Amino acid sequence: MYKTALMLIILLVATISLPALATWKLDNSSSLLSFTSVKKSAIAENHSFAKLEGDIDAKAQVTISVDLASVNTNIAIRDERMKKFVFETDKYSSANFTTQLDKELLNALKTGQNQQLSLNGTLDFHGLQQAVTIDVSVVKLSADKILVNTIKPFFIKADAFSVVAGINKLKELASLPSINYVVPVTFSVTFTR
């Protein structure tokens, strides 16, 4: 009798805890990561990536992976050149960001509530890792959906990830006097469970 009662209590506790421990998956169809390039010192253009993956695991560790071959600059030849010379997708297929959330945040956030955070994480891009801080807004849209937006752009410096030579090659091929080496990045990603 004691064993049966104990098993029922363990089962009940495990069942109640499951939603809190559930893994959140990034919904690519409701997510966007974009960046802006500036050429000739004054012409800014927005670009994006079509394929994002990611999750928030049971320990609230966040992983977001960007398929670099899915770059979309709205010009096919430029997409190909960026993949070949800047991203070198034959060697580096993705860029990855990881960070750790406070586990209690996801449990305590109420539907419709907005929480602003500074996330300290690691960006793994072009074979190199750099610490980055990203200011975000986290909104719980429903019991099983959260939205994470950048509050302001964060910046990727080309020299920190050894892509200056690739950018210089783009300048040469397009006969441009300049392309900025600092790139602002923003994202809006939705996670569901």
Look at residue 3 in the predicted model and tell me its pLDDT. 43
- Kindly state the average pLDDT of the residues 67-88: 97
Are the C-beta atoms of residues 136 and 150 closer than 8 Å to each other?
A: yes
53 has which bridge partners? 65
Which amino acid makes up residue 139? V
User: What is the percent of the chain with per-residue pLDDT over 70, rounded to a whole number?
Assistant: 89
Look at residue 22 in the predicted model and tell me its pLDDT. 59
Q: What is the pTM of this model?
A: 0.85
Q: What is the pLDDT of residues 8-44, one digit of tens each?
A: 343 334 434 334 445 999 999 999 999 999 999 999 9
Look at residue 19 in the predicted model and tell me its pLDDT. 43
Q: What structural domains does the chain harbor? A: 19-192 (2.40.128.110)
Look at residue 120 in the predicted model and tell me its pLDDT. 96
